Structure 1
Amino acid sequence: MGETTENPGLRIGTAPDSWGVWFPDDPQQVPWNRFLDEVVAAGYEWIELGPYGYLPTDPHQLEDELGSRGLKLSAGTVFTGFHKGEDEWQRAWDQALNVAGLASKLGAEHLVVIPDLWRSDATSEVLEPRVLDDAQWAKLGAGHDRLGKALLEEFGMKQQFHSHADSHIGTTREVLRFLDETDARYTNLCLDTGHFAYYGGDNVKLIEERPERIGYLHLKQVDPSQLFDVLKNDVPFAQAVADGIMIEPPHGVPDLAPIIEAVAKLDPEIFAIVEQDMYGCSVDAPFPIAQRTREHIFGCTHLARIS
């Protein structure tokens, strides 16, 4: 009989979002050097870049800052609006040149791509209709495949699309249509467990039904005691975050262990990044939550690892 190799589990990391960081520069946010120090103290080794310009953008400085702390970079993030038409390509590619250009120099192989919201997360202004027509769906899919192909060819990076509250891609039906509109060679999912659950999605079912399209994970939980009030009263996402809709595990849904275990069976090289939306929080709030969250994850499943 041949030897069996034990599944090492998924690499668990964290992100600036878990420290309340949404913008490159906001005087209310935790300073970037304190963020990095607290990531180490909380017990993580992998992080994301966060909004471009929050961490140092000089690759040598960033490499030194991460390396001196034993940290490694899993991904960067850009924002796109391909459903709006051809003019959106240049905006997306300009971001990619900055973000993927920097992240790839530090070894990151993933670019998390977040769609534009129909309601502004800065002002709560309604910017456009909540649903896409067929022509917009076609533009959306074509744009993401073009971006994914270019990222692979230029930077060797994989595009991971992130469905999002207050965006056009949020519900299960919308996520499945997005997958049907795109090519698995170029476009797959950063499955954000909290955002998918925000609109009632079953994370484990999606993983089981579309295993080939799961490329990356964001781990977070949503507070079910608030969720129906948020949806019934049409509370903007940014306000819901300020009110604590994304809650510290294990106090929300979905359970993280079954998700981690289902994805680890697919590919233990997939990243699982803790990303609890906390924008607007006190600078002293994130660290103990990040530490407890890591302890919870490692206490609820054996298929988790630091590095």
Structure 2
Amino acid sequence: MTSLPPQSSPQPSPPPSLSRIRIGSAPDSWGVWFPDDPQQVPWQRFLDEVAESGYEWIELGPYGYLPSEPAVLADETARRNLRVSAGTVFTGLHHGPDVWDATWAHVSDIAALTHAMGAEHLVVIPSFWRDDKTGEVLEPDTLTAEQWRHLTTQTERLGREVRERYGLKIVVHPHADTHIDSEENVTRFLDGTDSSLVSLCLDTGHYAYCGGDNVKLIETYGERIGYLHLKQVDPEILADVRANEVPFGPAVARGVMCEPPSGVPALEPVLAAAQKLDVELFAIVEQDMYPCPPDKPLPIAQRTRQFLRSCGA
């Protein structure tokens, strides 16, 4: 009787190739929210550790945290084999044309540095309706019809000006405690703006925090997705945050944004949906954790980069 050859154990399938997704990280993942704050790590340490973690792309973070002189920043990033993917600006464009001059004064310096660093994107975050540190309510959490018109028309104006003057594309970032947050408000914003001028920076954590379905948004508005922030939410902490109407800043201090892959949304289907768009996309890791101990970010960043490699990125 001839014995059968021993059967080998099935080998695990290799992760799908996310060939169009460019992975990076940001100062936010090192607990950096402000240009200068004694609770934050020095910028040199951030650059050293983000490179040590295996990332090749970074964002500028709050303007003034990293060197704002292009030649200095170019030297510091190049010797660590890092490149800049985007700058970030904060805006209150729902207030209408009266805030344009002040907005442009803020945007122009950041756009100039972003362009000088060879990046092509400017992440636009709407202003908060309540203070992210104190929780003080600054204005109503819903917009009037007139304010919605201001928000859409002034954002289009910003997109046009930034493109014409600096060659950059704006990507608007839905964010907790702003007026562009939930599925309803995000879709209203997208439907009210010109796709040739305004794209979206989909932050997976913020959209889940506000009740949105990331994969559904990518599949429905794929042509508007211009950039990704990768982030997860702890569902148990989020439930308490929602039940007690905790402001975003204190929610972060409680750990509402958690280390992948322990939270929601699952990032594998989000990345797979983004890959199917068949366009080049940055996917920048942003784990909000301000404030945090200075030794906390590096091991999290290393584990997160390894997790994303296991996803094919």
User: TM-score, structure 2 length as denominator?
Assistant: 0.93
State the match for 2:287 in structure 1: 276
State the match for 1:107 in structure 2: 118
The answer on whether the counterparts of 2:18 and 2:271 sit within 8 Å (CA) in structure 1 is no
- 1:184 corresponds, among 188, 195, 198, to 195
State the match for 2:176 in structure 1: 165
The answer on whether the counterparts of 1:7 and 1:268 sit within 8 Å (CA) in structure 2 is no
Higher alpha-carbon Rg: 2
Letter in 2 for 1:36: L
Secondary structure of 2:251 counterpart: helix
Shift of 1:267: 3.4
State the match for 1:291 in structure 2: 302
State the match for 2:97 in structure 1: 86
* 1:8-157 matched pairs, under 5 angstroms: 8-157=19-168
Q: Which runs of 4+ in 1 moved over 6 A?
A: none
Secondary structure of 1:87 counterpart: helix
State the match for 2:266 in structure 1: 255
Alignment partners' CA distance in 2, 1:251 and 1:278: 15
Shift of 1:107: 0.5
Secondary structure of 1:78 counterpart: strand
State the match for 1:202 in structure 2: 213
Alignment partners' CA distance in 2, 1:264 and 1:73: 21
The answer on whether the counterparts of 1:244 and 1:278 sit within 8 Å (CA) in structure 2 is yes
Q: Give the gaps of 5 or more residues in structure 1.
A: 1-5
Shift of 1:222: 0.5
The answer on whether the counterparts of 2:201 and 2:225 sit within 8 Å (CA) in structure 1 is yes
Which moves more between the two structures, 79-88 or 126-135? 79-88
Deviation string 1:100-141 (CA, Å, 9 cap, x unpaired) is: 100101100000000001001132110000101111000000
- Identical pairs, percent: 60
Secondary structure of 2:97 counterpart: coil
Shift of 1:91: 2.1
Letter in 1 for 2:146: A
State the match for 2:11 in structure 1: none
Alignment partners' CA distance in 1, 2:37 and 2:87: 19
Alignment partners' CA distance in 1, 2:148 and 2:120: 27
Shift of 1:268: 4.3
Secondary structure of 1:151 counterpart: helix
User: TM-score, structure 1 length as denominator?
Assistant: 0.95
